[in-house]
Amino acid sequence: MRVLGIINHFGIRVASEEFGIDAQGHITTASALFPDKAEMIYGTLASVIIFAGLWKFAGPQIAKGMKARTARIQKELDDAAADKAAAVAEAAQIRQAKGDIEAERARLLAAAQVQAQTVIEDGRLRLELEVTELEAKAAADVIAARARVFDELRAEIVRLSIAAVDQVVTGSLDEATHQRLIEDFISRVGASTAAGARS
Amino acid sequence: MSDPRIEGYARGLFEIARAENTLDEVEDELFRFARSFESSDALRNALTDEQIPAERRQAIVETLLGGKATRTTTQLISMIIGIGRGRELPQIIDELVERASSAKNLEVANVRVAIPLTEDQQQRLAAALANATGKQVNLKVVVDPSILGGVVATIGDTVIDGTVRTRIEQLKSRL
């Protein structure tokens, strides 16, 4: 009501202004800043009516829209919070998975180390076995080579002995030896009997 | 069992030599010639070469034996060579010697020595072989230096070996 009082007062003051008429007969206001009184009154009433209509009819819609907007914003906030929570959970999972990966890596490294150790051990045993076999084979080869050399040496000695026998015997067969061999043969054959003859 | 053809030739030679009354001498000469024939490649090739005319081969025989053997021996060998039986000559002669020995109830004793035997040694050896085998033997001595020394005697299937060559071979086997 105070506001209406002020408006009324101002309107009365404005209405108290005087109008003038220019040379062409047009009505002119005395103030360059304010319209005339009637226009002020009707304009104000129209504005009040419009504002009241707006308050009456558009206000609920606006309030409803604002509520919907608030709800939408709240929903977006909730969604953001949920997304944040999900992100936090996912981050936790990732961190856990990272921890699991570390554990798996450690486990794999340990298994690989064990396997490598086993392979190294097996390889060492196999190499030791091969070395043993090679040593045995080398020893057998040495024995065989020694036997072969001995056989060759023996054969060479026999060959030389035979050649020496041939030379010695042939060289020692003089006339007297021939005669002695013949006489020995005659004596030996003569001493034997028919039953003892060799064939 | 010997070849009938060889037996036939041997019987022919035997009858000729016996008819000539030179059997012992001819038999001995033929035996020696057979051994020479066996041991000499050059002689064997010359007398068995079909490319050489028979007359030429017979001339070789005449040249070789002329004055060194009886006429009968030379003619018999010349005949065998002339009819192209030179390759069978040793077998024919061995068969003749067997036949001659059988006729005298003797066993042929093929004796190989490195040096010639004296007459006395041949007699004592024949007696020794007769004692050892229980058979009277017709001693046929061949000088064969390849035996190096000693004596080897073959009577039928019996071999009595006392050669240096055999002893050396035995020694080689033992070595």
Domain's final residue, options B49, B75, B101? B101
B8 and B92 together in one domain: yes
Give the whole-angstrom CA distance, residue A153 versus residue A150.
Answer: 5
The answer to whether the Cβ–Cβ distance between A199 and B159 falls below 8 Å is: yes
* Single-letter amino acid code for the residue at B79: M
Distance (Å) from the C-alpha of residue B111 to the closest C-alpha of chain A?
11
B88 and B140 together in one domain: no
- What the block records as the tokens of A149 is 């050399």
Q: Which residues of B touch A197 (CB under 8 A)?
A: 132-133, 158, 160
Residues 6+ apart with CB under 8 A from B3: B88, B91
- Please identify every stretch of chain B with a pLDDT value under 50, giving residue numbers as ranges: none
Please tell me whether residue B171 adopts helix, strand or coil conformation: helix
User: What is the residue-averaged pLDDT of chain A?
Assistant: 85
Total domain count, chain A: 1
Give the whole-angstrom CA distance, residue A156 versus residue A151.
Answer: 8
B82 and B120 together in one domain: no
B37 and B56 together in one domain: yes
Find the residue in B nearest to A162 (Cα). B172
In this model, does residue A12 exceed pLDDT 80?
no
The count of CB pairs under 8 A between chains A and B is 87
Lowest average pLDDT, out of A12-16, A69-73, B105-109, goes to A12-16
Whether A118 is covered by a domain: the verdict is no
The answer to whether the Cβ–Cβ distance between B164 and A169 falls below 8 Å is: yes
B84 and B148 together in one domain: no
Choose the closest CB to B157 out of A184, A187, A199. Answer: A199
Residue among A159, A167, A177, A186 with most chain B CBs within 10 A, to mutate? A186
Total domain count, chain B: 2
The predicted structure's pLDDT at residue A198: 45
Distance (Å) from the C-alpha of residue B123 to the closest C-alpha of chain A?
10
In this model, does residue A120 exceed pLDDT 60?
yes
Measured between alpha carbons, how far is residue A3 from residues A9, A10, A34, A55 in Å? 10, 11, 19, 18
The predicted structure's pLDDT at residue A158: 84
Highest average pLDDT, of A20-24, A81-85, A194-198, comes from A81-85
B9 and B88 together in one domain: yes
Give the whole-angstrom CA distance, residue B109 versus residue B131.
Answer: 13
Choose between A138 and A196: higher pLDDT.
A138
Does B117 touch chain A if contact means CB atoms closer than 8 Å?
Answer: yes
Residues B43 and B36 sit within 8 Å (Cβ to Cβ): yes
The answer to whether the Cβ–Cβ distance between B125 and A186 falls below 8 Å is: yes
Please tell me whether residue A21 adopts helix, strand or coil conformation: strand
Distance (Å) from the C-alpha of residue A139 to the closest C-alpha of chain B?
30
Label the pairing between strands B107-113 and A20-21.
Answer: unpaired
pTM of the model: 0.53
In this model, does residue A194 exceed pLDDT 70?
no
Indicate the pLDDT class of residue A24, thresholds 50, 70 and 90: confident
Label the pairing between strands A27-28 and A20-21.
Answer: antiparallel
B9 and B90 together in one domain: yes
Distance (Å) from the C-alpha of residue B97 to the closest C-alpha of chain A?
22
- What the block records as the tokens of B110 is 């093929």
The predicted structure's pLDDT at residue B133: 85
Choose the closest CB to B150 out of A166, A181, A192. Answer: A181
The predicted structure's pLDDT at residue A19: 61
Considering only CA atoms, which of B28, B16, B24 is closest in space to residue B72? B16
CB neighbourhood size of B89 (10 A): 22
Q: Which residues of B touch A173 (CB under 8 A)?
A: 114, 148-149, 164
Residues B93 and B33 sit within 8 Å (Cβ to Cβ): yes
In this model, does residue A199 exceed pLDDT 50?
no
Whether A173 is covered by a domain: the verdict is yes
Measured between alpha carbons, how far is residue B82 from residues A156, B14, B18 in Å? 52, 18, 22
Whether A113 is covered by a domain: the verdict is no
- Mean pLDDT of the region A46-69: 92
B73 and B14 together in one domain: yes
Whether A174 is covered by a domain: the verdict is yes
Indicate the length of chain A as a whole number: 199
Give the whole-angstrom CA distance, residue B130 versus residue A163.
Answer: 37
Residues B141 and B113 sit within 8 Å (Cβ to Cβ): yes
Domain's final residue, options B55, B75, B101? B101
The predicted structure's pLDDT at residue B102: 86
Give the whole-angstrom CA distance, residue A67 versus residue A64.
Answer: 5
The predicted structure's pLDDT at residue A161: 85
The predicted structure's pLDDT at residue A197: 47
B95 and B111 together in one domain: no
The predicted structure's pLDDT at residue A119: 94
Q: Which residues of A touch B172 (CB under 8 A)?
A: 158, 162, 165
User: Biggest alpha carbon distance in chain A?
Assistant: 205
B119 and B92 together in one domain: no
Label the pairing between strands B107-113 and B137-143.
Answer: parallel
Whether A179 is covered by a domain: the verdict is yes
B94 and B154 together in one domain: no
Whether A136 is covered by a domain: the verdict is no
Domain encompassing residue B19: 4-101
The domain that holds B20 is classified in CATH as 1.10.520.20
Residue among B131, B137, B143, B171 with most chain A CBs within 10 A, to mutate? B131
- What the block records as the tokens of B39 is 């041991």
Which region, left, alpha or beta, applies to residue A21 given φ > 0 means left and ψ of -120 to 50 means alpha?
beta
Domain's final residue, options B45, B69, B101? B101
Tens digits of per-residue pLDDT, B48-85?
Answer: 888 889 899 999 999 988 888 888 899 899 999 988 88
The predicted structure's pLDDT at residue B17: 87
Domain encompassing residue A174: 144-198
Residues A96 and A103 sit within 8 Å (Cβ to Cβ): no
Choose between B55 and A196: higher pLDDT.
B55
B64 and B12 together in one domain: yes
The predicted structure's pLDDT at residue A16: 55
The answer to whether the Cβ–Cβ distance between A189 and B168 falls below 8 Å is: no
